[in-house]
Structure 1
Amino acid sequence: MNERTGLVDGERADRFESACRTVVGDTLRSITYFTPDGFEQTYLRSDLDADADLAGFVEHESLGFRARTAYRDSELGDYEHTVRSFENGYITRVVGHEEGVFVTTDGLTMRRSEEVATALGELLD
């Protein structure tokens, strides 16, 4: 796990990890908490290297704050979460009003992505 930056306290980081591990188990790769002004990786699975360009990921995923307002009053309903598929895994992003979390996993079904998004959403503002 990366050294704490103080953006999110240890107890809250533990709640994020517990919620994710309950839903996706050992397929959980990482958890990153972010705000418009900063970010902190709160969990990284021990078999992975801490060499990802987190700043680049956060820059892109923080666009989720705009998605909340851009999709407001849409026929589809309120924006809930985003899932991105990659060659070696998935990202699920959930944003509140001023904070967000994205998790990476090895495998993910649509049902599991909805479950992890719901669990994280309950922990955000």
Structure 2
Amino acid sequence: MTRSSIDVSQAFTDAIVSTCRTTLGDSLRSVVYFTRDDFETLYIRQDLYGGDEEMARAAKERLVENERAAFGPHETYSKTRDDSSDLTRTEFGEYEFTLRIFSEGFVGRAVIGDHGVIVTTDELELSEFEEMEVAICQILEEESAA
């Protein structure tokens, strides 16, 4: 099985997973940290993938490849403004997070700079997800500054 080349500290992993578990509870399915080049699965709920790490990594690899769009120019909303004086903001404000809603759960993605976190859940209230994503972004910003 291919392992990640990302060196994720235990303190960072604990902060991310603890934030997700606290805000989302038993609805949390998985937490994945990712960069442009690699990813590390930080948490997988025990009842998923039959405990098979290789199967879990393969499933998350497909998810990460899809969510890496955040690093590409095709998901840059700064071009939606006519005023070129502030290309970091759009008519919608600053980017916070992406939430994809499916019939049986959610996929959330928060990206700060060159790294991000993907969280998958069962169905839940949107307000719970927003609270978690704001906290994740704060942790990612702190990690970027370190």
Scaled by the length of structure 1, what TM-score is found?
A: 0.87
Q: Any idea what the Cα deviations from partners look like across 1:27-62, whole Å, max 9, x if unmatched?
A: 111000000010011100111115352222111111
1:69-108 counterparts in 2 under 5 A? 70-72=76-78, 73-108=89-124
Please state how far the C-alpha of 1:6 moved relative to its aligned partner.
5.5
CA distance in 1, matches of 2:138, 2:42: 17
CA contact (8 A) 2:5 2:38 kept: no
* Shift >4 Å, 4+ stretches: none
Q: Give the superposed CA RMSD.
A: 2.0
CA contact (8 A) 2:4 2:38 kept: no
Which of 112, 116, 126 is the equivalent residue of 1:110? 126
Which of 53, 56, 61 is the equivalent residue of 1:55? 61
SS in 1 for 2:96: coil
SS in 2 for 1:37: coil
Scaled by the length of structure 2, what TM-score is found?
A: 0.75
CA contact (8 A) 1:71 1:78 kept: no
1:30-41 counterparts in 2 under 5 A? 30-41=30-41
Counting aligned pairs with the same residue, the percent is 40
Name the counterpart of 2:42. 42
Please state how far the C-alpha of 1:5 moved relative to its aligned partner.
3.6
Name the counterpart of 1:9. 9
In structure 1, runs of 5+ residues without a counterpart are: none
Number of residue pairs matched by the alignment: 122
CA distance in 1, matches of 2:131, 2:5: 27
Bigger Rg, structure 1 or 2 = 2
Name the counterpart of 2:86. none
- One-letter identity of the residue aligned with 1:18: S
